[in-house]
Amino acid sequence: MPLPDGSLDYVTALDVLEHVPDDAAVVRGFHRLLKPGGLAVVTVPAGMALWSDWDEALHHYRRYSRPQLRALFPPAGWELVHVNYTNVVAYPAVWLVRKWRRWRSQPGTVNGPRAEDQSLPRWLNTLLRGILVRLALMRLPFPFGVSLVLVARRRQ
């Protein structure tokens, strides 16, 4: 990225790292761009158990576990402020739908529209948003989720 070293206070990469072959190089770029004390905010899809045709359609290279995401931000250069799974409530439904589709699919065929391509009814979207926001504000360490969020501070 053609910006001077140490020129940014914040960097966000919201569902970006899974799209690049060398995610560690991107994080090293964040470190170069951030001022000491600057923050990186990252979200990524979580759990290879959820890998599906959705990930392939979106050209993902991977889904992450918490240890994999943490490893991209080594302690020598980063202080991890927050790392947690998100979209916890949706996980069972997403897992079931993706397993069902995988079980029903035949190699080389398309089995109709993906659930991920459908819009939720407004009432359900409002309900889920309220639940997900409340859970995020509680800052409980969840053991699984559809996504991961990480906030890291660049060390000196």
What confidence tens digit (pLDDT) does each residue in 137-149 have? 777 899 999 999 9
What confidence tens digit (pLDDT) does each residue in 78-116 have? 999 999 999 898 899 899 988 887 777 655 545 556 656
Contact 73, 152 (CB under 8 A): yes
What's the confidence (pLDDT) of residue 112? 58
CA atoms within 13 A on the CB side of 33: 16
Amino acid at 21: P
Indicate the CATH number for domain 8-154: 3.40.50.150
CA distance 80 to 90: 26
The domain ranges of the chain are 8-154
Q: Say what the alpha-carbon torsion angle 146, 82, 13, 134 is, to the nearest 10 degrees.
A: 50
CA atoms within 13 A on the CB side of 41: 5
Q: What is the DSSP string of 106-144?
A: -TT---S--GGGSPPPHHHHHHHHHHHHHHHHHT---S-
What confidence tens digit (pLDDT) does each residue in 33-72 have? 999 999 999 999 999 999 998 899 999 999 999 999 999 9
